[in-house]
Amino acid sequence: MRVARFAAVAVVTIAVLGAAAPIRAAAAPDARALYVEYCQLCHGAALEGYAADNAPSLSSPTFRASASTLFLQTAIERGRAGTAMAGFGKSVGGPLDPVEVDALVDFIRGGAGAPPVLPPRASKGDVAKGAHVYAAHCESCHGTAARRGNAVHLANPMFLASASDAYLRLAVVEGRPGTPMEAWEGKLAPPEIEDVVAYLRSLARPLPAAPVLPPSPAPPLPVVLNPGGTPPDFTLRLGRYAAVADVAAAYAEKRRMVIIDARPTSDYLRMHIPGAISVPYFDMRGLDTVPNDGTWVVAYCVCPHEESGRVLDELRKRGYANTAILDEGFFVWATQGHPVEAADGQLPIAAPPARPAAFTPVPAVSPRS
Ligand code: HEC
Ligand code: HEC
């Protein structure tokens, strides 16, 4: 079963890449420019991670030495539904074509080439014992099956579909130098490591369906919510942030406002605040439709401030008078039970990670220098 699911991801990714590569092979994309535009705000200028939302390092030597091409392509193309990592592939409503995804994969590798394929070795550990190991040693950072902690959500179905047992084992044994993930070799007995890998594998679930893409161009949505309503009266923290409680109250009272989803459209298609319009942080042409007449405009993301912050800055640059960021972000909105419109079969939302991360990652080390 698990092998079949993993194979399905492989086939989809390869099929997408295979189909598009010949058409776009002409101009090699500028991977650094793509990274700066789309990824740096969370993964950091030197790929060290933790610039926002506890996004993991993409530069730790053990990550680079074990993440296969397919692992990286799948993470970037499909994202990790239910976390801040959106799907960036055009196939799911993101901005990147397969050639650009591949350019980013090479960029993350730092020119080191594909790592050797890890010999597959399924864990024969004991799931129940592994659950105890996990609760004692891992849960404080990685959270539970249903709740993300401060570190990568290991129960995420997209993650488990692309991370083999060999990949998981190696990460546990060697850790991720330069991050809080220590090497557990010598601290856990080898059978305990096998047990915790077996436990992680037992958390794998079927993948959520890729969202159905709207026709292109998408039919225009009404931009202003409740055009006849009275304006809200927000008090902004630090002149920028409107609390979820205040925005939810204004929403319930049918006040006049515009709500902007600043995430990649792939995330918007999966789940959004009903009535919000999609204006991704990297393509703000949609702002041209927003009336500049004093109507309140509230932007949100999951991060919870970086993507929405870019939209807010652009609105203010354009002279919009009443603008705010949804302070705690979309996950808090959703987990508090405020209205959310979700595509069929989408994942429940992992709870938001705490931020900022309470550590300073050491500078990136090149794995092959
Ligand atoms: C809004 C913040 C954000 C942005 C923007 C973002 N990421 Fe991520 N990314 C994350 C988070 C958070 C995770 C971990 C997901 C989780 O919680 O499990 C992640 C995971 C990943 C992973 C998997 C790493 C691992 O250890 O499993 C890769 C690869 C990755 N991102 C690449 C990218 C690339 C390339 C871009 C730009 C195209 C990008 N990300 C943009 C937040 C972000
Ligand atoms: C102190 C916090 C902490 C603890 C405790 C911890 N981890 Fe981690 N772990 C992390 C962080 C942070 C990362 C991501 C590191 C990075 O940025 O590359 C990570 C990464 C991983 C990864 C690789 C994920 C990926 O996307 O490639 C695995 C697998 C993993 N941890 C398993 C475990 C297991 C199993 C345990 C318990 C034995 C454990 N961790 C304990 C913080 C922790």
Per-residue pLDDT tens digits for 195-232:
999 999 999 887 777 777 877 667 778 999 999 999 99
What is the C-alpha separation between 52 and 58, in angstroms, rounded?
13
| CB neighbourhood size of 215 (10 A) | 6
Residues lining ligand 2, CB < 6 A?
A: 49, 56-57, 60, 63, 137-138, 140-142, 151-152, 154, 168, 171-172, 176, 179-181, 184, 196
Per-residue pLDDT tens digits for 81-95:
888 999 999 999 999
What is the 39 CA–ligand 1 centroid distance (Å)?
8
Per-residue pLDDT tens digits for 293-319:
999 999 999 988 999 999 999 999 999
Mean pLDDT of 56-68: 94
- pLDDT reported for residue 12: 35
Judged by DSSP in three states, 335 sits in helix
21 contacts 98 by C-beta, under 8 angstroms = yes
How does DSSP classify residue 186?
Answer: T
Q: Which of 59, 73, 85 to mutate to test the pocket of ligand 1 (most atoms within 8 A of CB)?
A: 85
Name 136's Cβ contacts closer than 8 Å, sequence gap at least 6: none
Phi-psi region of 187 (alpha: psi -120 to 50; beta: other; left: phi over 0): alpha
Is 90 exceeded by the pLDDT of residue 148?
no
- pLDDT reported for residue 7: 32
What is the 75 CA–ligand 1 centroid distance (Å)?
7
Question: Which phi and psi angles does 296 have, rounded to 5°?
Answer: -65, 135
Name 364's Cβ contacts closer than 8 Å, sequence gap at least 6: 46, 47, 48, 57, 59, 60, 178
170 Cα distance to chain centroid: 23
- pLDDT reported for residue 335: 87
- pLDDT reported for residue 369: 25
CA of 303, nearest ligand number:
1
Which pairing describes strands 277-278 and 257-261: parallel, antiparallel, or unpaired?
A: parallel
What is the C-alpha separation between 236 and 327, in angstroms, rounded?
9
What is the C-alpha separation between 26 and 13, in angstroms, rounded?
21
What is the C-alpha separation between 283 and 264, in angstroms, rounded?
9
Output the average pLDDT for the chain: 86
Residue having the nearest C-alpha atom to atom 36 of ligand 1: 39
Predicted model pTM: 0.88
The residue that leads in pLDDT, 17 or 175, is: 175
- pLDDT tier at 271, thresholds 50, 70, 90: very high
Residue having the nearest C-alpha atom to atom 9 of ligand 1: 85
Q: What number does the ligand 1 atom closest to the CA of 152 have?
A: 18
For the chain, which domains are there?
2-202 (1.10.760.10), 241-342 (3.40.250.10)
234 contacts 272 by C-beta, under 8 angstroms = no
Residue having the nearest C-alpha atom to atom 19 of ligand 2: 181
Q: With 0-12 CB in 10 A as exposed, 13-18 as middle and 19+ as buried, what is 360?
A: exposed
Residue having the nearest C-alpha atom to atom 9 of ligand 2: 181
